[in-house]
Amino acid sequence: MTEQPGRPKYYRGAVAISGDRIALVSDSPQRIERYERERGEGLQVADGAGRLVMPGLINLHNHVSMTLMRGYADDLPLMPWLTEKIWPFEAKLDGDDIYSGAELGIAEMLLGGTTAFVDMYWYADRVAEAAIRSGIRAVVSPAFVGTAFDGYVERTQRMIERYNGAAGDRIRVWVAPHAPYTCTPEQIRESLKLCERNGVGVNIHVAETLSEVETIRERYGKTPVEHLRDLGVFDYRALAVHCVHLTETDMEILSRQGVSVVYNPQSNMKLASGIAPVARLLERGANVGIGTDGPSSNNDLDMWDEMRTGSFLQKVATGDPCVLPAYEVLRMATTRAADAIGMKGEIGVLAEGARADLIVLNLDKPHLTPCHDLVANLVYCAKPSDVETVMVDGRIVVRQGALANGDFGAIRREVERRLGVLQRRGE
């Protein structure tokens, strides 16, 4: 399955990989035979009968190490969730905890067909290290809030120098002010100097709740989107995460300035934050991708279910069953997401010359039968367990449903051990 001008959405054919790139995507027997002949006996061939090869999914918003808090703080509104449960728990974490939580979340993503993710968290260098070891692609964003800004610029500059472009450019580093209500204008402006100096992007929560919108209006007399525009945030490649409560002017600003909006339907539902106006944003030409948010507010990292929920929720919100059809929401997890992080045409596509980030699904499943429309089956029926093989940069990272670069049992045991240490640390 691919997205190429003038080609069907999916067809029977072959995909060939050479190094970290896709060398061939074709349904022409003549081209396939010629490729095999030219490569000779060294060519490895896998039979894909009953299987689907497609681009890997891209999770545009995560706090992956919050796997440590999965099921810890459920059924609470956002601010009590943060102030009474999450922030006190996070205050006890160290870099090793972050690494362990990241390993667990990355394993979950890879096994479910996610080949790239954008993360925003503390100790982001440890998230980068976990990503490097696992083989996944990642944009890691060191986060800050206003009360913990001292030294942020210096630390993040060092991290950019060390990790941006690491592991054959699998790792990139962006800047991440947490939100306009937790960071001062001066701090946000100062952090943007890192974008200017290094050519990196910025990742920020925006207009997630009505209380945030009211707070920003009281402080600055503007909406969060207007406030961030005036601070210069949107002068750089930017991910505006959530964007649940937007005015018509906000949507025009986001579209006009080329800001990519990240839709997090399940997290927004669970925290009762609201429903992002995705259909209207798309109508205005805005780029919209999709993410799970963190495992403590979702509570899983299942992009298949996120796509399904995201599509259904927009239909309910608009009263229009035609809104956000399956193919469009799949693009939000592939081509649109790739564009959002500056990798348009590089990932999120099955095309010759693109990076070999792809997944193989077993279609021989009851819930995928019959198949009148493969894309609809994927978005509305597929599950992480359907994924058999995952490749990132031409390297297999999941083989026959098991991690190629790690032992899930060992990862799970280390998480459980660290949670015991955390419990004792808090006593």
Q: Say if residue 90 carries a ligand binding annotation.
A: yes
Residues of the chain where predicted confidence (pLDDT) is lower than 50:
none
- Confidence at residue 41, expressed as pLDDT on a 0 to 100 scale: 78
Q: Say if residue 208 carries a ligand binding annotation.
A: yes
- Confidence at residue 9, expressed as pLDDT on a 0 to 100 scale: 73
Q: Which residue has the tokens 């599950």?
A: 383
Buried b (16+ CB within 10 A) or exposed e, 21-41: ebebbbeeeeebeebeeeeee
Q: For the chain, which domains are there? A: 1-427 (3.20.20.140)
E strand or H helix that includes residue 118: strand 114-121
Q: Say if residue 293 carries a ligand binding annotation.
A: yes
For the stretch 275-303, pLDDT in tens is: 999 999 999 999 999 999 999 999 999 99
For the stretch 200-214, pLDDT in tens is: 999 999 999 999 999
- Confidence at residue 5, expressed as pLDDT on a 0 to 100 scale: 61
Distance between alpha carbon 51 and the CA centroid of its chain, in Å? 25
Q: Is the pTM here over 0.75, yes or no?
A: yes
398 close to 387: Cβ distance less than 8 angstroms: yes
Q: Say if residue 242 carries a ligand binding annotation.
A: no
Burial class (CB in 10 A: 0-12, 13-18, 19+), 322: exposed
- Confidence at residue 8, expressed as pLDDT on a 0 to 100 scale: 56
